Amino acid sequence: MDLMSLTAVELGRKIKAKEVTVREAVLAAYDKIDEKEAELNCYVTTTKEAALAKADEVQAKIDAGELTGPLAGVPVAIKDNMCTKGVLTTCSSKILENFVPTFTAEAVINLEKAGAVILGKTNMDEFAMGSTTETSHYGATKNPWNTKHVPGGSSGGSAAAVAAEECSFALGSDTGGSIRQPSSYCGVTGMKPTYGTVSRYGLIAYGSSLDQIGPIARDVTDCATILEAIASYDPKDSTSIKRDDYDFTSALVDDVKGMKIGIPKDYLIEGLNPEVKDAIMNAAHKLEEKGAVVEEFDLSLVEYAIPAYYVIACAEASSNLARFDGVKYGYRTPEYNELHEMYKKTRSEGFGPEVKRRIMLGSFVLSSGYYDAYYLKALRTKALIKQAFDKAFSKYDIILGPVAPTTAPEIGSSLADPIKMYLGDIYTISVNLAGLPGISVPGGFDSKVLPIGVQMIGNCFEEKKIIRAAYAFEQSLKAERI
């Protein structure tokens, strides 16, 4: 039996039924890692020894009946921008090449409580800035479907690790599409929850008002199960929201009868790859067959989300990343004569080009004389975008659309033209600006056999609707395969 081909929930069930030990599951994951890492580079750090010790500990708790949840004993990979006590956490940056946190991110603690066993930390775009995982200081991650292509980003390591079966599931973070887009490129299921649903405590911030942690997994059931485990109200995160509906798995129902689904006409524009468009239309058709009502509508403002996003995210990033200065932790330049030289050399040597580009832009738009024209303008645009979504959700239960305009591009083809790269985020970014939940589910392949993701967007706090729709769509694809 190939343990790593199972979904997290299936594996958890076998562990619970004593068909498989936790140690066996963890060793199976490391076998895959040993087999594929050299080619794919999904991980920055693996922690085999600690994971095996943890496996035995978790096993004992399962045997004692203390751990009964669906993820007990299931091996997980964590994106390297979430703090893990005692384990190197780099954000795939040189500036944190030696940083060992002294506390663990709340979302990761929640997973540990559920009995998941951490295999290691996954590669990402440096500080989550990028859409390809090529900006990592520790080398690019390859797409398991075709290693000439990128896995997407910034959670490229997490998505590729799930696709390559180098873990049962993974955590990613999504600031402008960083969970959904790599999930789409790697043919896995990834979900960004409503802002405030998963604690950001311990997540190394990129754009604080946009960042949200979420699951990357094999299917919708896994996603709902993982989200149920990691979501919590956290008094340590002032933007955490107390909810009374954490039972996300209750939405795993194959029923979309009467569900109203809108497809924004302004999503189906020039630049959208026809094969991707076909996949979306196919998904719409499948849901229609199950009784959903699908129609096209004008969402409006779609193209304005990108500039508004880059102003807001870069401004916040320029401030969030100021703390990396060689004083308290991380890299410090070896040679300097005075304080400001130490700061400048440390930061210039420690950050990669994309990070520097965004810090420069963010510092500029906040600087004296430009704040109103750029930053406030972007915040006003954000308000309009939120209004546009509010209007849409007054008519539709969910919005259906692409995750990205294309499938995974070839390695080396994106970074040269940043604006073109940023344009690739057009379908994901506005979801972050409006704080909405979104899911990417596999919806087929293009002619190059690269996966295509389908995105479903819900109104805030309505994860259950997109889980239900995604689950129904997944079921119809499964039925087709059989």
Partner 1 sequence: MREYETVIGLEVHVELATKTKIFCGCSTAFGGAPNTHTCPVCTGMPGSLPVLNKQVVEYAMAVGLATNCAITQNCKFDRKNYFYPDNPQNYQISQLYYPICRNGHVDIEVDGVKKSIGIHEIHMEEDAGKLIHDEWEDCSLVDFNRSGVPLIEIVSEPDMRSAEEVIAYLEKLRMTIQYLGASDCKMQEGSMRADVNISVREVGASEFGTRTEMKNLNSFKSIARAIEGERNRQIELIEDGKKVVQETRRWDDSKESSYAMRSKEDAQDYRYFPEPDLVPIVISDEWIARVKSQQPEFREEKKARYQEEFGLPEYDADIITGTKHLADIFEEATKICGKPKKVSNWIMGETMRLLKEKEMDPEDITFAPENLAKIVNLADAGTINNTAAKEVFEAVFNDNVDPDVYVEEHKMKQVNDEGALREAIEKVIAENPQSVDDYHNGKEKAIGFLVGQTMKAMKGKANPAMVNQILKELL
Partner 2 sequence: MANIISDETIDYVGILAKLELSPEEKEEAKKDMGRMLDYVDMLNELDTSGVEPMSHVFPVNNVFREDVVTNGDDRDNITANAPQKKDGAFMVPKTFV
- Reduce the DSSP state of residue 262 to 3 states and report it: strand
Piece of 40-48, 98-106, 407-415, 438-446 that binds partner 1 (CB under 8 A): 98-106
Number of residues that bind partner 2 (CB under 8 A): 70
Among 394, 419, 481, 482, binds partner 2 (CB under 8 A): 419
Q: Which of residues 239 and 333 has its CB atom nearest to partner 1 in the complex?
A: 239
User: What gap in Å lies between CA 472 and CA 396, rounded to an integer?
Assistant: 17
Residue 375 identity (one-letter amino acid): Y
Residue 353: how many CB atoms within 10 A of its CB?
11
Residue 432 binds to partner 1 (criterion: CB under 8 A):
no
Reported as type and span, the H/E element at residue 400 is: strand 398-402
Q: Which of residues 43-72 bind partner 1 (CB under 8 A)?
A: none
Among 1, 253, 269, 322, binds partner 2 (CB under 8 A): 322
Residue 337 binds to partner 1 (criterion: CB under 8 A):
no
The alpha carbon of 10 is separated from its chain's Cα centroid by a whole number of angstroms, namely 22
Using CB distances below 5 to 8 A depending on partner kind, what does residue 315 bind out of partner 2, partner 1, none?
partner 1
Residue 88 binds to partner 2 (criterion: CB under 8 A):
no
Among 209, 273, 406, 475, binds partner 1 (CB under 8 A): 209
CB 397 within 8 A of CB 117: no
Among 201, 343, 396, 427, binds partner 2 (CB under 8 A): 343
Nearest to 209 by CA among 320, 352, 49: 320
Residue 138 binds to partner 1 (criterion: CB under 8 A):
no
Piece of 65-73, 134-142, 318-326, 439-447 that binds partner 1 (CB under 8 A): 318-326
Supply angle C-alpha 368, 371, 376, rounded to 5: 165
User: What gap in Å lies between CA 220 and CA 247, rounded to an integer?
Assistant: 14
Piece of 134-142, 148-156, 271-279, 352-360 that binds partner 2 (CB under 8 A): 352-360
Q: Which of residues 262-321 bind partner 2 (CB under 8 A)?
A: 301, 303-304, 306-308, 310-311, 318
**Contacting residues for 293 by C-beta, under 8 A, at least 6 apart:** 258, 259, 260, 261
Using CB distances below 5 to 8 A depending on partner kind, what does residue 89 bind out of partner 1, partner 2, none?
partner 1
CB 222 within 8 A of CB 7: yes
- Reduce the DSSP state of residue 3 to 3 states and report it: helix
Nearest to 478 by CA among 327, 212, 286, 330: 286
DSSP 203: B
Residue 44 backbone phi and psi in degrees, to 5:
-90, -40
Q: Compute the half-sphere exposure of residue 86: CA atoms within 13 Å on the CB side of its CA.
A: 5
Among 161, 198, 203, 433, binds partner 1 (CB under 8 A): 203
CB 293 within 8 A of CB 427: no
Tokens of 476: 């119809």
Beta-ladder partners of 122: 43, 79
Query: Active-site residues: which are they?
Result: 79, 154, 178
Residue 395 identity (one-letter amino acid): K
Beta-ladder partners of 117: 75
Among 377, 391, 444, 475, binds partner 2 (CB under 8 A): 377
Piece of 118-126, 185-193, 382-390, 397-405 that binds partner 2 (CB under 8 A): 382-390
Residue with tokens 């140690």: 23
Residue 431 binds to partner 1 (criterion: CB under 8 A):
no
User: What gap in Å lies between CA 326 and CA 337, rounded to an integer?
Assistant: 14
Among 1, 383, 449, 479, binds partner 2 (CB under 8 A): 383
Using CB distances below 5 to 8 A depending on partner kind, what does residue 205 bind out of partner 2, partner 1, none?
partner 1
Among 196, 215, 262, 401, binds partner 2 (CB under 8 A): 196
Could you tell me whether strands 398-402 and 293-297 are parallel, antiparallel, or unpaired per DSSP bridges? Answer: unpaired
Binding site for partner 1 (CB under 8 A): 82-83, 89, 91, 96, 99, 101-103, 105, 200-205, 207-209, 235-239, 315-316, 318-319, 322-325, 327-329, 339-340, 343, 363, 366-368, 371, 375
Binding site for partner 2 (CB under 8 A): 98-100, 102, 195-196, 209, 235, 238-239, 241, 301, 303-304, 306-308, 310-311, 318, 322, 325-332, 336-345, 347-348, 351, 353, 356-357, 359-361, 363-365, 367, 374, 376-384, 386, 418-419, 422, 433-435, 460
